[in-house]
Amino acid sequence: MFAAAQKMAAYTKPDVAEAIQIRLAAVMAGGYPKQARCIPPKIRAAVIARDNGQCRACGGPGTEIDHINGSSEALENLQLLCDPCHNKKTMAGMVVVHPEDEKLQVKSLLFWARVEAEQPMRICDDEENWSGQWRRLMSEREDELARLVEDKIKNGRPMTKQEKRYWVRLF
């Protein structure tokens, strides 16, 4: 993954450079809660229909469902944007962090140590073996979940809200 990221950093196309900048900012900020912000297909279709398939900012063809504020899936908090307008909004929301910021320095050092490492520092950094590792981890997760569900059924206890969320994310 990081070898590919290094190669991507060489790109000079403005849209590619912007996408890389957005991705790196998300990594440096601690990640992007993709699952928490995932929009169900019915809501996605409703937003596209409401906005007539057009970007709310420029009127061009819409391609991205954007959360206006926070992660709420309420229709009034969602809008259809094109990629350039979505990226522009994302970039506008970024906060400049000064190099003197200790948290930034630590995150930056850790990030670049992973990028420049000769040997993978985490299993997900291992481009050659990650696919197999990921499958093994998912299998273990499925087995654990099956045990949890079996235990709940056997003991007659309903699943907690957190357990249900875990179940939904898995499948």
Render each residue's pLDDT in the chain as its tens digit; 171 residues: 455 555 555 566 787 888 888 887 777 777 777 777 788 899 999 999 999 999 999 999 999 999 998 888 899 999 999 999 999 998 888 877 677 778 777 877 887 888 888 888 877 778 888 888 888 888 888 888 778 777 777 777 776 777 666 665 554
C-alpha angle 119-123-129 in degrees, rounded to nearest 5: 85
Distance CA 168, CA 87 (A): 29
Looking at residue 9, its pLDDT comes to 55
Domain ranges in the chain?
2-98, 129-170
pLDDT of amino acid 169:
56
Q: Give tens-digit pLDDT for 64-89.
A: 999 998 888 899 999 999 999 999 99
Using an 8 Å Cβ cutoff, are 39 and 48 in contact?
no
pLDDT of residue 59: 96
| Mean of pLDDT over the chain | 80
In this prediction, residue 11 carries a pLDDT of: 62
Burial class (CB in 10 A: 0-12, 13-18, 19+), 81: buried
- What are the CA-CA distances from residue 169 to residues 107, 137, 156, 162 (Å)? 28, 14, 23, 11
